[in-house]
Structure 1
Amino acid sequence: MNLKTTLLGQTYHFRDLKDLMAKANEEKAGDQLAGLAAQNAKERMAAKWILSELTLEQIRENPLLPPEQDEVSRVIEEDLNKKIYAEIRRWTVAELREYLLSSSTGTDDIRRISRGLTSEMIAAVSKVMNNLDLIQAASKIEVITHCNISIGQKGVLAGRAQPNHPADDVNGIRASLFEALSYGIGDAVIGINPVIDTADSVKAIMNMTKDVMDRFRIPTQNCVLAHITTQMRAIRQGGHADLVFQSLAGTEAGNLAFGIDLALLQEADALARSEGTGTGPNVWYFETGQGSELSGDAHHGIDQVTLEARCYGLARRFKPFIVNTVVGFIGPEYLYDGRQVTRAGLEDHFMGKLHQLPMGVDVCYTNHMKVDQNDMDNLAVLLGNAGVNFIIGVPMADDCMLNYQSTSYHDIATLRETLGLRPAPAFEQWLESMGIMSGGKLTAAAGDATLFA
């Protein structure tokens, strides 16, 4: 495996594939913090050049984290379709990129070869693609999933209603939810991040949101984003949950820092299918985000883009209803400014879609980052054109509980109207029955939460 090249009279030599993959990354604060990043743009370009000439077989034969040492690696290896892999193993990373971008390559073609790709191969090709490449390739990939309704169809932009409350007051959550629904938001999920991680509190939120859905016959699904063990206790005590949720990391050690492992996810999966209220077959909601493994000192010297791809390799085993990267939530330690957040959002969306995941993005940032709402607007427009399955809606784009900035209910409505996108079909029919939408556009009644009084 060649790890050496001469560029503009200077010779670059990379220690191993792990080193090469890290230095081929676009500039990321997290890689710099971990001491993994390229020293300058020329070294980065040299790494990209070498990486583009490696074959998929060379990537598989040189594991960054061997399966015998890590259960995420084992999942990725076990789930690889060996027959399809054998057909493409001699492709270079550059040839994979060309295949994905070719005008003759369609959704079905990409869906098939994706089964023969490991997460590391998918990460590798993302590193040799520019932003427009990531948008074009992702826009070809349609991933439709079904819980109580279906989302992910071409031309559909769903929205998660995130009516969080700083004290988990169910009346406050309900009021904010009514505002979201009045703007046509909530078809991806009604999903609340709780403050209080107890089964009783989580169950109360689950059952309140389910009551609203039943009362107004809303075709969607609910979820409370507590730790999976708390959700499991709440469900066993009578909580009504259509989806179960968990954050994922790209290494076994990272997941242990989250208090989970593969066995626990499998136990939760069985519970969701036997006692959850979602019709399925897709009953999971996963969240990820570049940098979490570095926070837990669980990165094993692997760059944050590759680790993010490995999250998706774990997620696809469970065939989730939705996945989203909370792209700017962790902070400037991992993504320093608007340029890095934009790049990460496009990378994550592309890599998730190439894993055949129903990918959404929380277009967001924390207040100590060099990012503003215009950056978020730009990223949201780019993702809308890339075919993102859903984005997040919070009141006025300012989450009063998590204390970060995201996209608002009316931002999602504006994106739909501007880009010619629609809500999920079943949800749009309900919006029309409520007088909130007509002919794909919001009516004068939109934004009036008293519709649900």
Structure 2
Amino acid sequence: MRLKTMLQGQTYEFKDLKELFAKANEEKSGDRLAGLAAETVQERIAAKQVLAGLTLEDIRNHPLLPPEEDEVSRIIEEQVNDTIFADIKGWTVAKLREYILDDHVGDRELKRLSRGLTSEMIAATGKLMSNLDLIHAANKVEIISRCNIAIGQKGTLASRLQPNHPTDNVDGMLASMKEGLSYGVGDAVIGINPVDDSVESVKRLLHATHDFIEGWNIPTQNCVLAHVTTQMKAIEQGAPAAMIFQSIAGTEAANRSFGISVSLLEEAQQMIMEKGTSHGPQRLYFETGQGSELSAEAHHGIDQMTLEARNYGFARKFDPYILNTVVGFIGPEYLYDNKQVIRAGLEDHFMGKMHGISMGVDICYTNHIRADQNDIEELGVLLTAAGVNFIIAAPMGDDCMLNYQSMSYHDIATLRQTLDRKPAPKFAAWLEHMGITEDGKLTERAGDPTIFSE
């Protein structure tokens, strides 16, 4: 395995695949913070050149984090279809990229191919792609998932309604929820981040959302994004939950810092299948984001893009209904500015789709990052063009509990209208029945939460 090249008369040599992968990555402040980033643009180009010439067999035979040392690595390795891999093991990363982007290769071929790839192979391919490549490739793949309703159909854009409240006040949460629904938001999930991670608080919010959904016959799902163990206790005590949520990471050590393991998630999955309110078959909701492993001091010297890909390999084992990356939420330590946030959002979406995940994005930024609302609106347009399954929205794009900026309810409506996207079919039919839309277009009733007081 050759890990060196000459560029403009200078030799560049990389000691192992960890270093090569990291230095082939586009500029990320998190990689620089970890001491992994390329020192110059020339070194980054050299790393990409070497990476392009590696075979998929080289990558599989030299794991960045050996399976005997890490649970996530074992899961990723165990999922590889050896028959498919045998057909492509001699391909270079460059050839894999060309195949994915080939006009004659579509959804069916890419889904089959993905079963023969490890997360590291998918990450390597993304490192060689431009932003437009990432958009074009992801848009080829249609991932339809089903809980109470199905989302992900071509030509649709679903959304998570996020009616957070700084004190978990039910009336305040319901007010935000009504406004979001009146804009046609909420088909992917009505998901609340609780301030109080107690069983009683989670039960109260689950009952309130479930009762409202049932009362208005809304075709959607509810979820309260507390720790998985808190949700399990609430469900055991009779709380009506359509899904169970959990943040996950790309290494066993980082997952341990989150208080989770494969066995715990398997237990949660079994519980929601038996005691959840949804029809399924998919009933789990995962959340990720570049940089979380570095925050947990559990990155093992691996760059944050590759670790993010490993999140999706881990998630694939559980076949979740939805997964979203929270791009820009951690802050400038890991994604410094608008350019890095946009790049990471497109990378994550592509890599998730290539793992067969029903992929969403929380397009957001913290107040101390070098980005603004125009930047995330631009990313919203790019991801919608890329076929993202869902986007998260908060009232006026300002989350009053988590204290960060996101997409707003009316942004979802604008993206649908501008790029000719529809809500999920069952949700779209409900919007027509409610008079919020007519022939797929918003009516004068749209944006008026008082319709739920009639």
| Counterpart mapping for 1:214-233 below 5 A | 214-233=214-233
RMSD, aligned CA = 0.4
Question: By how many angstroms is 1:444 displaced?
Answer: 0.8
- Give the match for residue 347 of structure 1: 347
Structure 1 counterpart of 2:312, one-letter code = Y
Aligned residue for 2:143, secondary structure, equals coil
* 1:155-213 residue CA offsets vs partner (Å, 9 max, x unmatched): 00001000000000111111110000000000000000000001111011001100001
Q: 1:357 maps to which residue?
A: 357
1:269 partner amino acid: Q
Residues 1:211 and 2:178 are matched in the alignment: no
Aligned-partner Cα distance in 2 for 1:263–1:67? 17
Alignment deviations for residues 21-74 of structure 1 (CA, whole Å, 9 cap, x no partner): 000000000000000000011000000000001000000000000000000000
2:317 alignment partner, SS class: helix
- Residue type matched to 1:300 in 2? H
CA distance in 2, matches of 1:203, 1:41: 52
Consecutive unaligned residues in structure 1, runs of 5 or more: none
Provide Cα deviations, 1:120-167, integer angstroms capped at 9, x if missing partner. Answer: 000000000010000000000000000000000000000100000000
Counterparts of 1:221 and 1:253 in 2: how far apart (Å)?
Answer: 31
Residue 280 of structure 2 is aligned to residue 280 of structure 1: yes
Q: Per-residue deviation at 1:376? A: 0.3
Cα distance between partner residues in 2 of 1:275 and 1:80: 32
CA distance in 2, matches of 1:340, 1:194: 29
Once residues 7 and 215 of structure 1 are traced to their aligned partners in structure 2, the CA distance between those partners, rounded to angstroms, is 66
Q: Give me the whole-angstrom Cα distance separating, in 2, the residues matched to 1:146 and 1:262.
A: 22
Residue 240 of structure 2: aligned partner: 240
What is residue 88 of structure 2 aligned with on the other side? Answer: 88
Q: Could you tell me which amino acid in structure 1 is paired with residue 341 of structure 2?
A: V
Give % identity: 66
For residue 381 of structure 1, what is the aligned residue in structure 2? 381
Aligned equivalents of 2:93, 2:277: Cα separation in 1? 43
Amino acid at match of 2:173: I
Instruction: Write the mapping of 1:181-330 to structure 2, written as runs, cut at 5 A.
Output: 181-330=181-330
Letter in 1 for 2:360: G
How far does residue 299 in structure 1 lie from its aligned partner after superposition?
0.2
What is the CA-CA distance between 1:438 and the residue it aligns to? 1.1
Matched, 1:33 2:33: yes
3-state secondary structure, aligned to 1:178: helix
Give 1:386 shift.
0.2
Query: Distance in 2 between the 1:83 and 1:254 partners?
Result: 32
Q: Which residue in 2 is equivalent to 1:155?
A: 155
Q: Following the alignment from structure 2 to structure 1, what is the Cα–Cα distance between the partners of residues 392 and 304?
A: 23
Letter in 2 for 1:174: L
CA distance in 1, matches of 2:447, 2:132: 34
1:378 is matched by which residue type in structure 2? E
Matched position secondary structure for 2:11: strand
Q: Deviations over 1:59-93 (max 9, x none)?
A: 00000000000000000011111111111111100
| Over 2 Å off, 4+ runs | none
SS of the equivalent of 2:63 reads coil
Identify the residue that residue 69 of structure 1 maps to in structure 2. 69
Deviation (angstroms), 1:278: 1.2
Corresponding residue of 2:392: 392
Q: What residue identity is the alignment partner of 2:81?
A: N
| Superposed CA offset, 1:331-378 (max 9, x none) | 000000000000000000000000010000000000000000010011
Counterpart position of 1:104: 104
Q: TM-score, normalised by structure 1?
A: 1.00
2:369 corresponds to which letter in structure 1? M
Aligned residues: 453
Distance 2:433 2:444 in 1: 14
Q: For structure 2, list consecutive stretches of 5 or more residues without a partner in the other structure.
A: none
